[in-house]
Amino acid sequence: MTELPIIRLRPKSKPQAIRHGFPWVFADELVTDRRTRAIAAGSFAVLEDAERSPLGIVTFNADSRIIARMMDPDPQAQIDRAWIAARLSRALAMRERLFDKPFYRLIHAEADGLPGVIIDRFGDAAVIQPNAAWAERMVGDIADALREVAGVSTVILNGQGRARGLEGLPERMETLSGGIDAPVQVQMNGAIYLADLLGGQKTGLFYDQRPNHAFAQRLSQGARVLDVFSHVGGFGLAALAAGATQATCVDGSAPALELARGGAQAMGAADRLVTRQGDAFAQLEALAEEGAQFDVVICDPPAFAPSKPALEAGLRAYERVAKLAAPLVAPGGYLGLCSCSHAADLTAFRNASARGIGRGGRRMQLIHTGQAGPDHPVLPQLAESGYLKSLFFRLDG
């Protein structure tokens, strides 16, 4: 085994957090000199505390604010294809216990022991997002281990998104093995979704909302439902599967709405789906001018607060969504509001939502708080792994 370089925490850094499971080292916590800066991005190193006691093997990237990510607390571990396969096997065993069909998030980054790596599975196909430099460098080994452990034949690399930019990685899209020439049908909660693995947002489908779709279905029987920021019809198609009389999906993406219509058609519910393309805020205002009312309104916007500098503006945006959506809810109806922003914690998001509902002239009861499904496990030491928040209110007045 090649001897790994050694990097060291500054004297005032707190190694206890690393020892207790926190997986990141920030650039200002590490001793950096010409030698450390010469370490290639994505290389492995042994992390030591200020007293030279080893803390484990990390992956290093001087171009990232997260300069080191913990790979293995064993400083003798060898990070290779077999090591990756072992992590994949452990993750797969849990998903196979939780889900009847192979449609789920297989790897949720640090929470599954593969820092910066997202893998979503779609039956015989899988999409890898290598959002850390080490994963970009070893994506061939990840793909080989994935085929070996999960038995998939098609593996797609989706190298897009903000996280890669923060690591200094370029955007790219590549089919690593197999191939796919049409959207994949995914069944969840009785609905059928069409996932575009090559051209859709993220990996093609948002598995994280599965339990929140299921809760919304309990409110949707015989209801008129509005799904804003719907993507491929997440909440809208779930509502139709539960017996909603009509679901209206609003999104800015024409291709996403086309996939929503395809899903509704596959379910035999095309006649109960209405789509409206355009800016979500403008569409909410237009619906109010039309005097539209719905029994259930759900808004699942993109991350308005993806980082701490964006937090205040993001919270104002969430408040505005709630303010515009609240008047569209019929008396005694329900409003669901979601946030996937890392920087906005549950309390901040709940307060912004409540302010918005109040400014929309409505009184409220909070009846349910949801999060991502169990295929998106949370690393308790890393708040960012528990990013999704879902609030359901009953509105009066």
Task: Considering the candidates 249, 299, 338, 340, report the single residue annotated as catalytic.
Answer: 340
Q: Is the pLDDT of residue 144 over 60?
A: yes
Predicted confidence at residue 161, as pLDDT, reads 87
Q: Is 1 part of any domain?
A: no
102 three-class SS: coil
CATH number for position 129: 3.30.750.80
128 lies in the same domain as 273: no
DSSP 13: S
Write out the two tokens for 22: 């926190």
Q: What is the C-alpha separation between 104 and 188, in angstroms, rounded? A: 10
Q: Is 315 part of any domain?
A: yes
pLDDT category at 12 given cuts 50, 70, 90 is: confident
Cβ-contact 191, 241 below 8 angstroms = yes
Predicted confidence at residue 14, as pLDDT, reads 81
Q: What is the C-alpha separation between 386 and 390, in angstroms, rounded? A: 12
Q: Tell me the mean pLDDT in the region 150-157.
A: 98
- Percent of the chain beyond pLDDT 70? 99
Domain boundary among 177, 202, 224: 177
Predicted confidence at residue 244, as pLDDT, reads 98
DSSP 372: -
Comparing CA positions, the residue from 97, 86, 157 lying closest to residue 125 is 157
Q: What is the C-alpha separation between 386 and 376, in angstroms, rounded? A: 8
- Provide the terminal-to-terminal Cα distance of the chain, rounded to the nearest Å: 69
**302-306, 371-375, 379-383: which has the highest mean pLDDT?**
371-375
Q: What is the C-alpha separation between 31 and 16, in angstroms, rounded? A: 17
Q: What contacts 258, CB < 8 A, 6 or more positions away?
A: none
166 three-class SS: helix
Instruction: Show the domain range for 173.
Output: 81-177
Length of the chain: 397
Cβ-contact 386, 372 below 8 angstroms = yes
CATH number for position 354: 3.40.50.150
Q: Tell me the mean pLDDT in the region 242-249.
A: 98
Domain boundary among 37, 72, 107: 72
277 lies in the same domain as 190: yes
131 three-class SS: coil
Strand order, beta sheet including 125-130: 103-108, 117-122, 125-130, 154-159, 172-177
pLDDT category at 176 given cuts 50, 70, 90 is: very high
Write out the two tokens for 377: 């496990």
Cβ-contact 359, 353 below 8 angstroms = no
Choose the weakest-confidence range: 15-19, 148-152, 352-356: 15-19
CATH number for position 28: 2.30.130.10
Q: Is the pLDDT of residue 1 over 90?
A: no
- The amino acid sitting at 331 is P
Q: What contacts 384, CB < 8 A, 6 or more positions away?
A: 342
User: Is 340 a residue of the active site?
Assistant: yes
Q: Is 338 part of any domain?
A: yes
Q: What is the C-alpha separation between 147 and 91, in angstroms, rounded? A: 14
286 lies in the same domain as 205: yes
Overall number of domains in the chain: 3
Phi/psi zone of residue 109: left (φ > 0), alpha (ψ -120 to 50 degrees), beta?
left
295 lies in the same domain as 274: yes
pLDDT category at 221 given cuts 50, 70, 90 is: very high
pLDDT digits (tens, 9 = 90+) for 275-325: 999 999 999 999 999 999 999 999 999 999 988 999 999 999 999 999 999
Helices (H) and strands (E) in the chain, counts: 12, 19
Pairing verdict, β 66-72 and 24-26? antiparallel
Mean pLDDT over each residue of the chain, to the nearest integer: 96
The CA-atom distances, in angstroms, between 319 and each of 8, 27, 334, 350, 356 are 43, 34, 17, 9, 4
Comparing CA positions, the residue from 240, 227, 226, 228 lying closest to residue 271 is 240
Predicted confidence at residue 388, as pLDDT, reads 97
Q: Tell me the mean pLDDT in the region 338-349.
A: 95
pLDDT digits (tens, 9 = 90+) for 84-95: 999 999 999 999
Predicted confidence at residue 175, as pLDDT, reads 96
